[in-house]
Chain A
Amino acid sequence: MSGSSSGESSGKDSGKDSGKGSGRAPRLRPVAFMVLAMTVVLGAVVTAFLIVDLSAEHVFRERERSDSLTEMVWLKDVYRREGLAELPRHVERRTHQGWKGQIYGFFDPAGRALAGNLLALPQGLSPDAWRQVAARSAAGVVELDAVVWRAPGGSILVVGHDLAGERQVEHALLGGFVGALAIVAAASLAVGFLLNQVMDRRAESVAGVAERIAAGDFAARAQVSPRGDSFDRIGRSLNAMLDRIEELVTEMRVVTDSLSHDLRAPLTRMRAALERALSPSSNEEERRRAVEFAHGQIEQVLSIFSALSDIARAEAGVSKDMMQPVRLDALIGEMAELFGPEIEDAGQQLEAPALPPIVVAAHAPLLRHAVGNLLFNAARHAGEGARVTMSLREQEDFAEIVVADSGRGVPEGQLGRIAQRFITLDGARGGAGSGLGLAIASAAAKLHGGELVLQDNAPGLRATLRLSLRLKPA
């Protein structure tokens, strides 16, 4: 490993090394695919050749045999009509005519050649079947496919044909196939190479994005063409994943920044108060007030932590046995009752008309908290004179708890933001407006298989807690 990379310190970063290796190697990988494809193509071509060859041979031989048989039948007919003595003359004549390359031989019972172009009686011929034998003819040794007839009296007539013709066809076929094979091989190599190039380029664009991300360029995204092939699909998924990660990273950064901001303020005030209390020049009453003030600041810090851990708990999920059937109308009624005075004190009016009885499997304390937060939010932000309306309804697979106000509302573009941790639009940080209320409601809705939907109520804000009706109680 270290030997190959001359300039690098050995084994310092093995991941880097192997990464480099794999950067070069993949270009060769598709060759395996090409070899496989070519093997398949070659196999198909060879099989095709064998099939064509066999059937061509068969057709060719049948035709030759039928010619030989015709000759045999004709010569037998001559024998029958004109007698044995005339046969050699006819055989000789046919031989000289060289009819369709047929080979003739007429032998006396002792096996001596009387007519035809066979010089000697071939061994191994049968009167019942075609036999392939080597035979000496006037033109030299030939491969003979022939039948034999033994005439009464013992004379022997052989008619057959030279297999050389068949071999020629076979050779021609083979030659054709080899040529075709060469063309196919060359073509598939070329296509494979091109395909490899194209795939490599496409893969490179996706891999390049991942490498840029790994190198710290979080804005990198894969190029996706509208054609929508496999690589575009991978690219789209990659981009969607990157968007989600970026969202999470951003949210995390906002949380960290906001948390340090929100904690620094009360902690600084606390330190100042305690320093005041410790100062020898302070009197008893001043000390008491300083400590009391510090105590109040601690409460604020703790409430931020408490809210954050509530969100974390809801996001982590709760055990199944905590999900119990809950009457939502009753729960809303209780929360309206609890937060009613707060809303009235804010100069607003709370309306909770008769609600339908809907039961869902829910984590009751968390759900109360979520509804409470929506009401608290309305009391705090809707402004004087606003009307706060609570409603409940069943919508397909969801129960929807709606808290709508007719107050100042939220600008359309900000609706998505306010459910995030620490986002407050009026910049009024501190106090109970830590910007965590809606984040808790959102986490609670997600825990119940739903979501928190924030919409413009024209005027005002309309917050809908959607809870799945499909969750099963423990």
Chain B
Amino acid sequence: MSRRVLVVEDDASTAEFLAKGLRAEGFTVEQAADGRDALYMATKSDFDAIVIDRMLPGLDGLSAIRALRAAEVQTPILILSALGHLDERVRGLRSGGDDYLTKPFGFSELHARLENLMRRRGGSPAETELTAGDLSIDLLARKARRGGVPIDLLPREFKLLEYLMRNKDRVVTRVMLLEQVWDYRFDPHTSVIDTHVSRLRRKIDQGFEKPLLHTVRGAGYRLSEEA
């Protein structure tokens, strides 16, 4: 069954760009151009995710989100905004959004985040072990093994690996890793993440025939059994 995404964006060309990209990724996309329509559509029908612009005519994005949450619509919401203000992000998340993306953004970033949001919704929170091929991590003991061999990881490396494993087979961007693993929300130093990933890669892939941690050009990283 195809996953359904509601795109709420008043700028026609941005909306078109988003819808096109999402359809190409296999989503079913519906569009709304203002907060009122979005509210109506989101409450009448069940979506897998909502992408909503912060600034909308009529009912603005944040008010629409608050109204949705008040109506107990739990659909994951990704907020888009041209306002990169430090506090805007917090306000967006406080009003009930699940993630926040500042324009301009790359489509790969948006896609990776959407996948992440939808996974979060479906994921079972009671998991105590994650696996990818012959790599497994024990979330309680905070231990990792590959092919039965224990791998010695620093706490932060474990957190990085855990995040990659939870998003197995999906692309995660450098910005996502910085935000989720280090709580660091600024773009210019995304390259620092590469060093951490390459160290982690050395620990989990070195000496094994099949690499698990892949670099995705122009996007980020993916942990997967397939190349």
Contact = CB atoms under 8 A, between A and B. Distances in A.
Interface of A: 292, 295, 302-303, 306-307, 309-310, 313, 318-319, 322, 334, 337-339, 341-342, 345, 363, 365-366, 368-369, 372-373, 376, 432, 434, 436-437
A342 B192 contact: yes
Contacts of A376: 189, 192
Chain B interface, >50% SS class: loop
Contacts of B133: none
B181 to A, nearest CB: 9
Given A302-B104, A369-B184, A432-B189, A337 B156 contact: yes
B184 A341 contact: no
13 contacts: A302-B187, A303-B188, A306-B84, A306-B186, A318-B86, A318-B87, A322-B86, A322-B87, A322-B90, A339-B192, A365-B186, A368-B184, A432-B189
B217 A372 contact: no
Nearest to B184: A368
Nearest to A322: B87
Contacts of B121: none
A48 to B, nearest CB: 71
The 3 closest A-B pairs by CB, nearest first: A341-B195, A303-B188, A306-B187
Interface centre among A307, A309, A365 (most CB of B within 10 A): A365
Given A306-B187, A306-B188, A341 B84 contact: no
Contact of A338 (B87, B184, B185): B184
Given A295-B218, A337-B156, A310 B186 contact: yes
B199 interface: yes
B189 A309 contact: no
B44 interface: no
Contacts of A436: 188
A334 B85 CA distance: 23
B86 A292 contact: no
Contacts of A339: 192
Given A372-B186, A373-B189, 19 more contacts: A303-B188, A306-B188, A307-B188, A309-B84, A313-B84, A313-B85, A338-B196, A341-B195, A342-B191, A342-B192, A363-B86, A365-B183, A366-B86, A369-B184, A369-B186, A372-B189, A432-B191, A434-B188, A437-B188
A297 to B, nearest CB: 13
B95 to A, nearest CB: 14
A438 to B, nearest CB: 13
Nearest to A300: B188
A212 B189 CA distance: 47
A369 B183 CA distance: 10
Contacts of A341: 192, 195-196, 199
Interface string B109-125: 00000000000000000
Count class of interface residues, chain B: 20 to 34
B154 to A, nearest CB: 8
Interface string B164-204: 00000000000000000011111111011001100100000
Contacts of A368: 183-184
A439 to B, nearest CB: 12
A306 B156 CA distance: 27
Contacts of A342: 191-192, 195
A303 B174 CA distance: 14
Contacts of B182: 334, 338
B84 A338 contact: no
A338 B86 contact: no
A26 B162 CA distance: 78
A434 B187 CA distance: 13
Contacts of B104: 302
B178 to A, nearest CB: 8
B187 A338 contact: no
A292 B192 CA distance: 21
A345 B195 contact: yes
B184 A372 contact: yes
Nearest to A342: B192
B159 to A, nearest CB: 10
B187 A303 contact: yes
A339 B195 CA distance: 9
B20 to A, nearest CB: 17
A157 B157 CA distance: 133
A369 to B, nearest CB: 5
Nearest to B91: A319
A363 B90 CA distance: 12
Nearest to A434: B188
B94 to A, nearest CB: 10
Contacts of A345: 195
Q: Which of B186, B188, B196 has the most CB of A within 10 A?
A: B188
B163 to A, nearest CB: 14
Nearest to B94: A321
A292 B195 contact: no
Nearest to A372: B189
Contacts of B185: 365, 369
A369 B190 CA distance: 12
A309 B218 CA distance: 24
A292 B218 contact: yes
Contacts of B187: 302-303, 306
Contacts of A310: 186
Contacts of B192: 338-339, 341-342, 376
Nearest to B155: A337
Contacts of B195: 341-342, 345
